[in-house]
Every structure is written in C-alpha cells, then in structure tokens.
Structure 1
Amino acid sequence: MSRDPFYTYHPIINIIFFTVVITTTVFLLNPIILVLSYSAAFVYSVRLKGRKALKFNLLYMLPLMVFAAAINVLFVHEGATILGYFSNGNPITLESLVYGLFSALMIGSVIIWFSCYNEVISSDKVIYLFGRILPKTSLIFSMVLRLVPMYKAQIGVISNAQKGIGRDFHTGNLFQRARNGLKILSIMLTWALENGVETSDSMKARGYGLKGRTSFSIFRFDARDRALAVSLGALMAVFSYGLGIGRFYFRIYPTVKWTELTKTSIPFYISIAVIFFLPIILGIMEDIKWKHLKSAV
C-alpha cells in the first residue's frame, strides 16, 4: 500500500478517528450523517486500495445493502404511514422503507470503514497501542489481522510449487483435481501450524508479556500530530455540542420526525463532515504540496 498521509500520523490519532467515525455511523441514524459517512468511506477506500476497493464497493457491498433494505421492508411492518399492501395483506410502510434504507447505508458504511481501518491500523500499531495494557490480547489481535494476507500469499506459493510438478488443482480429471487440492490444503495446514509454533517460541524468547519488559517503538507524537489532535478535538467539541442540543435528532417510528436543517445547524454538520473526510483532505493537501514542490524544481 502506498503510504497515505493519514497512515503516517500517530496511532493514537488513527484509532481516535476510526472510533469516532464508526461509533457516530452506528449510533446516529441521521440521513445526512449516514450519507456523509458512506461517501467519505467510499472515497477513502478507493484512495487507499484503488480499483480493488471500487470493485468491492460496487459488486459486493451495493448488492448487500440493497438486500438488507429489502429484507426490512419485507419483514418489518411497523409505522403509521402505509404506502400499500403485499399480496398476503401485510402493509408496506414509509417508516419501514426509510429504516431499511438507512440501516443498509449504515451497514455498508461501517464495513467499508473497517476495510480502511485494516489498511491504516497495522499490526505494529496495535501492539504499540495495547501492548502494555493487554500484551497477549494485542499480540493475538495483531496476528489475526495479518492471517488472511499472509495465508493467501503462502497458499499462492504452495500452489505454484505444486503446479511446477503437475499437481495443482487445475490439472487432471475431477478426482485428480480434488486430490491435488487436498494435498495443497494439507501442506498449507502443516505450514500454518509450524509457523504458529515458531512465532510462539520467538515471542517467548524475546520475553514478550514479562513484567518490566521494554519495547522499541518508531512512533513519536510530534508537532504535526499535536496540531491534528487539537483540530480533531475542536471539531469533536462542536459536533458534541450540536448533538447535546438535539441538532441531529431523527426519529423513524412510529412516524418520521427530525430536527429541521436550519442555518444554525450547518456548522454542526460541517464539523462532522470535516471529521469524516479528514483523511481525504489530508491526502489532497499532500498531493497539492508535492505538485507544488515538483513544479518548483
């Protein structure tokens, strides 16, 4: 992954950002906030992973969101505003339709945000953040984060090796392909078990988890991190104040009701919008900076 500017900030800044955006998306069923969250997550994931993220968001997440919205309309019939009836007599309500759409948007946003989280919060950042508090748990969690890409790469190596001797799962009849596939799986499981034992012995030899053990860290909370922390704190304070006075209130059942968007509400929505789009803003600023430096050479 190319080093996105937000990736280079201190892990505490990274974890606070993702905690705020994911928590806000889950617990505030406000249409404007959900649209902002989904838009920011979509753009940031594409910025981080390019076409791979675009394919995932459109081919997998979009159908999942449509399915989630449809399921709510089919099985939830609460609400006072009836739009029509199914053939079995169950009502189709505006409230169930709105709740289904917003729930689908929330699910999609959270999943995409977590995909961005996995790109930004690396295993060394997890150990740095939680290693002293929960050494064993943080180690296990950091190992889990790298299991899928590591195993995917290793099974590719094993498959290529077996292919070189004519034993991959694309060679021979159906029975031979199945046998070759099981052989590759057996080799993969053996390697995984050996790798687990080696990792355990390595960490034990290094004294991981022992009382008083010190650890090396490359992370330093510098002036740039302090500036972003202050800015993020100010934005969160404005947003929290707006939340406290009910500017983001939105109710669906029994009827749809919300606090109307007025001029006094705009600063509060701007604050959460800037928070959602913060990594993208930092990336754009970095791109402009590099273009300016290149043109000056």
Structure 2
Amino acid sequence: MSGPVRRFERSRSRLGAFFKRWPPLVLLCLGWLALMLFVALAADWLMPYGFTQIDLRSRLQPPVLFGGQWSHPLGTDELGRDVLSRGISAIQISLLIAFASTLISTVLGVFLGVLAAHFRGWVENLVLVLIDFQASMPFMIIALAVLAFFGNSLLLFIVLMGFYGWERAARIARSMTIAANEQGYAAAAHDLGATAWRVYGKHVLPNIASTIIVNITITFPGVILLESGLSFLGLGVQPPMASLGNMVGYGREYLQSAPWILLCPSLIIVLTTFSMSFVGDWLRDKLDPVLR
C-alpha cells in the first residue's frame, strides 16, 4: 500500500473515531446551544435596533426571503418593531430565566436530598412529604395561582420557576447519597475525622455529579417550555420586555397575515429544547458506567 493511501486510511480511521465519540447531531446541538449562549451574552451589541423601537411606516414588513428589505431581515411586527432585534432580546431574557431557575431548582433539590439522607428520621419524612406534594400538583396550576395572586416581576418569575423540577433533583440526590453512605469511602472519610460538610462536598457530591448534570439537561428545556407557556398566556415576562413566549403570544393574532412574527421565536424554542434534550440523552449514555 502506497504512502498516500495509508495516510488516507489513517485519516479516515481518526475521523471515524472522532464521529463515534462526538456524533454529528450532538455537535450540531452543541453548536446551536453555544450560538444561543453567545447571542444571550452579546445581545446588546448584536441587536440592529432597540427591541422596543416602533416604526409604524414599516409595520408587518415581510422577511427578506419573502420579498422584504435587508434593513429588517426577519421582518417587522404589528408595530413596526424589528423581529430580529426582539428575537435576540427574547433569547437573552428566556435563557436568563432558564439558567437562573435551573440553578435554583438544582441547588434546592440537591440540598434537601442530601439533608434527608444525612439526618434520616423525621427530617427525611418531611422532605419526602414536600416531594410528594410538589409531584402531585401540576406546576402550571401552582404558577398560575401564584402569579395571579402576587402579580408579576422578573425576579418573582425567576424564583417561581426555580421551584420547577426540584423534587426530581431531591429524589436523585437522596437515593444516591444514601447509596454512597453505605459504601466504604464515605464511612472511611468520616472515621478519619472529616466533617459532614467535607464528606459530602469532597467525596459524595463529586460521585453523584454526573447524574445531577443529566438531570439539569432535563430541567432546563422544561423551564424554557414552561416560561414560554406562561408568557404566551400573558402571565410570564411582561411588556416592554420580550421573551420567546410572549413573542409567540403576540404573533398568534397575525398567524395568517404575518406568520413570521410567530415562526421565528417558535423555531428557536423548538431547536433549543430539542438540542438540550438530545445532549442530555447523549450525556446520560456517556456517563452511565454500565454502558461504558
């Protein structure tokens, strides 16, 4: 076999190994999530117009692909606001809510789960009662009741979304902490004089981190869909701020005459939730020691 042929075979073998480790669809999903994160962080520099800037002379202008002008590549809405600028601002707000709420949910769930596993007894029973109560109530109904009673603000909305999915994280943390306590390494660290904070922080939590990370990838798209649903109903992010949900809510009235107002945020919601869910499934398979 000649030299060029051998080099080609080695290159093809390395490329095959790379795509086996990183499937193309996973790379596309990671690329989309990275793009969304970049847009959220650089939104103030990327928006060609202010997201509240009104130009009634340009109202309901179609996107470039439908015969519109390059000054508004994704078209304008019923008030002449640039859909691209509002979409960028909506990505920033929606991802802020999703990241902050997922962080609150994960920290709260892991803390209560570890607390229940450590103290057992009445503390564990109390945490389990709270978990069962949360799981038995549809979160959408709880969110609607709280927002209707207390009103709405961005901070309150983020805190409320932070209670979504915490019971799943608590169950996972409790069961895995109990299993870790029954193994030798946690007991050995405790016998050597390590405090409970050190045992859990340095030994137990790192060993259950992979499962918690997978749970985060499940909670994150759920928060995005929940925020979108509440904003669609008018109880989520309030004007003048834009979110993916309230953009869909405003656009439904112009579905036949100006569908691009609704399609742009809807496509972002679908692609983001799909990407996060797919990456979560891939991480679950990669981090599962049985499959490895």
- For the aligned pair, the TM-score class normalised by the smaller chain equals under 0.3
TM-score, normalised to structure 2, is 0.26
Higher relative contact order (CA 8 A, sep 6+): 1
TM-score, normalised to structure 1, is 0.25
